[in-house]
Chain A
Amino acid sequence: MRSLIDIKDLSIEEIDELIVKANDIIENPKKYVHACDGLKLATLFFEPSTRTRLSFEAAMYELGGNVLGFSEAQSSSAAKGESVSDTVKTVSCYADIIAMRHPKEGAPLVASRKASVPIINAGDGGHNHPTQTLTDLLTIHREKGRFNNLTIGFCGDLKFGRTVHSLIEAMSRYQNIKVVLISPVELKLPSYIKHDVLRAHNIEYVQTTNLEDVMPTLDILYMTRVQRERFFNEDDYVRLKDSYILTPEKLVNAKEDLCIMHPLPRVNEISTEIDSDSRACYFKQVLNGKFIRMALILKLLGVE
């Protein structure tokens, strides 16, 4: 019985399989409406994340399955001090698969070692969030038709953004990938990722503080939020935040087929004027998130 705890648990072939399956679901939704008849997904959210939970629940309902669970620790037995192990052992009696979000890093791994059903990590603190990475991968593949030969720009908070770290790690396994890192000096990509991931895979990368300079080279632009609380003082924040807000002016020299992504929720880092631009893919990402979760649920449940 398999679980998905870390995106690195999946081989390139398994990711390809999931992409193929998600594309088939998108093209032939009728084929899957009863795929999970009589099966139940438990969403155990020890910390709230409405977005991720709704995506999992919508995925299971579209497969004909049912959903049970809780959306915050206060309403669960964890509030009474029950261990993760005991909670999942109990829930394993009711559900066929579990999607779990937890504020503590490694909690889903603990769960997967104790549960008798597959566990999907729906985010463990600032650590892993593999279904977000799968969502990003499906979006890249649907927009570009390939994972090889791409120049990907990551813009904003590259220091704390776990979605950025995981996607860099996932993309570094493909051929001829170039990475462009665009951030204020304060929020640069941590050096261990440059060393252990980019250099280890011989990935060509550029580091810059200026988005417009590198814009023409990008096939994909992955935007993230620059959060106020990451800065030591308000002045720095005010000075820097606008440099990392995407506006139509900054897109003047961008490629015609640029794909603009964002893990959402956005605050103001992408101007709403861009929403109607055909290159804006962030709302498509939301939809892709549901489809890739459907593919993942099918795979882990062993349903064809």
Chain B
Amino acid sequence: MIVDAIKNGIVIDHITAGHAMELYSILELDKLDCTVAVLINVPSKKKGKKDIIKVDTLLDVDFDVLGYVDPNITVSIIKDSKVEKKLEMKLPSTVTNVIKCKNPRCITSTEQELDHIFKLTNAEKKIYRCVYCESKAK
């Protein structure tokens, strides 16, 4: 299967197979006007299968969100049909408004305007906790 090469845009690669659509909705790619290609179950040497998303514009993505969803992801920034930069994602130390705190006793449950902020408290086990009530992200 061939998808046209991008002139200016980004390639989100090495997405764990099956996670592309989740990223698609988190990054709100449905709101873009440009071409977006979502490739699912692409054969991969390392992982057997992977997903790839190609966006035909220099989209300003939140790398923390990508790292949170899948720290194995790489992002290539393409300019004039050349890879200008290749970035490795990592688990972010905090994420804002990506996870919602579900603890009914948490202050975020009554004060709607508060950002939902989660902090990485255990990188090994990928445990994030709400900064307000310390509940674990589910």
Contact = CB atoms under 8 A, between A and B. Distances in A.
Interface stretch (B23-31, B34-42, B88-96, B126-134): B126-134
B114 A104 contact: no
Interface stretch (B3-11, B50-58, B105-113): B105-113
A85 B132 CA distance: 14
Contacts of A109: 107, 131-132
A103 B111 CA distance: 13
Contact of A105 (B113, B114, B132): B132
A83 B113 contact: yes
A126 B104 CA distance: 12
A125 B105 contact: yes
A106 B113 contact: no
A103 B113 CA distance: 18
A104 B103 CA distance: 10
Contact of A110 (B103, B114, B134): B114
Contacts of A107: 107, 132
A127 B103 CA distance: 12
Contacts of A124: 107
A106 B131 CA distance: 8
A102 interface: yes
A109 to B, nearest CB: 6
Nearest to A83: B111
Contacts of B114: 110
A110 B107 contact: yes
A84 B133 contact: no
Given A110-B132, A127-B133, A127-B134, A105 B103 contact: yes
A105 B131 contact: no
Nearest to B132: A106
Interface of A: 83-85, 102-107, 109-110, 124-127
Which 10 residue pairs are nearest across A and B when measured between Cβ atoms? A106-B132, A105-B133, A104-B107, A106-B107, A107-B107, A106-B133, A125-B105, A105-B105, A105-B106, A83-B111
